[in-house]
């Protein structure tokens, strides 16, 4: 079992829909990252969380430390949101990131 599990693996939505991507982890962490990767490669850091909730534009990220679970929400989705969304955790016992397998999101017009 991977230490970081994301669901769903693939998600197709219509423009305007509310989207949720989930991340569960099984290790102690000091921070959790949500990353976005478009075709062509570059990775953009969307959020880094250690507790609670953060919002940036149409994106909202929440984390529940007790349940070892985080969600990324996209409101009013748009085709330009189509990308791979990756959850990564930084363990309390080290400095490196452990990545989930990613969620491929496709938003159709």
Footprint on this chain of other proteins (rule: CB under 8 A):
30-31, 33, 35, 40-45, 48, 50, 86, 88, 90, 92, 95-97, 99-102
Q: For 68, which DSSP code?
A: T
CB of 8 to other proteins, least distance (A): 15
Coil/strand/helix, residue 4: strand
Peptide bond into 103 cis (omega under 30): no
**Among residues 32 and 74, whose Cβ is nearest to other proteins?**
32
**Among residues 59 and 100, whose Cβ is nearest to other proteins?**
100
Give dist(CA 82, CA 24) in Å, integer.
22
């Amino acid at each position: 079992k991977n230490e970081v599990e994301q669901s769903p693996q693939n998600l197709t939505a219509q423009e305007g829909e509310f989207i949720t991507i989930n991340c569960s982890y099984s290790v102690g962490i000091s921070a959790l990252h949500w990353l976005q990767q478009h075709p062509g490669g570059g990775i953009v850091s969307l959020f880094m969380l250690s507790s609670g909730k953060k919002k940036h534009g149409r994106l909202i990220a929440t984390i529940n430390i007790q349940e070892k679970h985080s969600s990324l929400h996209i409101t009013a989705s748009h085709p330009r949101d189509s990308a791979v969304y990756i959850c990564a955790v930084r363990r309390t016992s080290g400095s490196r990131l452990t990545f989930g397998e990613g969620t491929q999101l496709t938003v159709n017009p």
